[in-house]
A = this chain, B = another copy of it.
């Protein structure tokens, strides 16, 4: 992609309204633009990251046997009156009255709506299990929206809902999603830690948040280092015993965020040398809530004995737009972003330091063509801009590879190839550059 065609409105100076690094870098890098308080437009570069995250989340949901649907953003208030949450939700719910004076709302989550849908085709225990997900925009009218996309009002979330005949089956569904989350965050280039979360009204042990470590994280995280080092398992979604073993292995060692932290237990269970005290960001939540909604919204199935019971449900959320910010919090340095390859908007940033020099332009174009022909995603900075501006932009935007074309190198038939994360740099022929990038 040519930067002259692909708008990336970078800014030199830190925007004054941004308090955290991801928000600053997303504005400075031209990934998003605030439309209103807590509401963002995704500019071309940010949009690419958002779509990559979405695709990775989707692929693992499909692998785990969840089926994708899409519920609308605007819901009828009546549904929420039935569940009793219409009043409970308070001012965070964006309430709307349509032209016929009907009470509507912008969905902050979808338990009610999915129950209404499921009630139509879940009739018998034979129709279970089912797991439906969607990736859709939600709205929560936060009192003080801040931290950019980390705590916006309009946000993109993947949420699914599992339906099972009894608690044992629900536990299996929960385990599947637990594994799916470990695998999803790994596929995004992140190390996630499941921590015990508040279990809500029905109690039990099936409620976990997934956090990733970041020095600038919102919560304190206390855990056993072993959790960070164990390899993420393969997609054994059809093997209940393997799933149980995985969940045991990931929930056995101590791990907690501030709100659930027990210092005495931490010191007792984790040897000094393995204690990790760090900061983290919540990026996912898995939660079993039994029949809380299925009872109220009438999602009932017939059992073999002729009786009729409400289905057992769980919900599972990943904040897709929030992850863009969270990844930057976890992956940046003082010069800018450091994208993990799987979610990098482009794998390569190509800068021509002397756009009006015909030899440089020719060399950069040839480099661009050969990368593109090899299927490498590259953003070619072909603007007429100062060399310093282009180099600073490369660092700011944080593509894994930088290829710099300048007059001295061109005279010798070489380009400069740099790895953004390590700073390693080498003068290589264009052919070598391509080969090293492809080999990575």
Contacts and interface: CB of A to CB of B under 8 A. Distances in A.
Interface of A: 5-7, 9, 30, 33, 35-36, 39-44, 47, 50, 65, 67-76, 91-92, 94, 96, 98-99, 102, 104, 106, 113, 116-117, 120-121, 126-127, 130, 132, 137, 139, 141, 143, 153-154, 384
Given A47-B68, A106-B74, A141-B98, A121 B42 contact: no
Contacts of A130: 5, 7
Given A42-B69, A69-B47, A96-B96, A7 B74 contact: no
Contacts of A74: 36, 39, 94, 106, 139, 153-154
A interface secondary structure, majority: mixed
Q: Copies per complex?
A: 2
B71 A5 contact: no
Contacts of A69: 41-44, 47
A27 to B, nearest CB: 11
A75 B7 contact: no
B7 A121 contact: yes
Contact of A33 (B40, B47, B120, B153): B120
A206 B96 CA distance: 38
A96 B99 CA distance: 11
A40 B70 CA distance: 9
A70 B48 CA distance: 10
26 contacts: A5-B65, A5-B67, A7-B121, A7-B127, A9-B121, A30-B121, A33-B117, A35-B71, A35-B113, A35-B116, A36-B102, A41-B72, A41-B113, A42-B69, A43-B117, A44-B132, A47-B68, A47-B69, A72-B137, A72-B154, A73-B154, A74-B106, A74-B153, A94-B96, A99-B143, A137-B137
A31 to B, nearest CB: 11
A39 B72 contact: yes
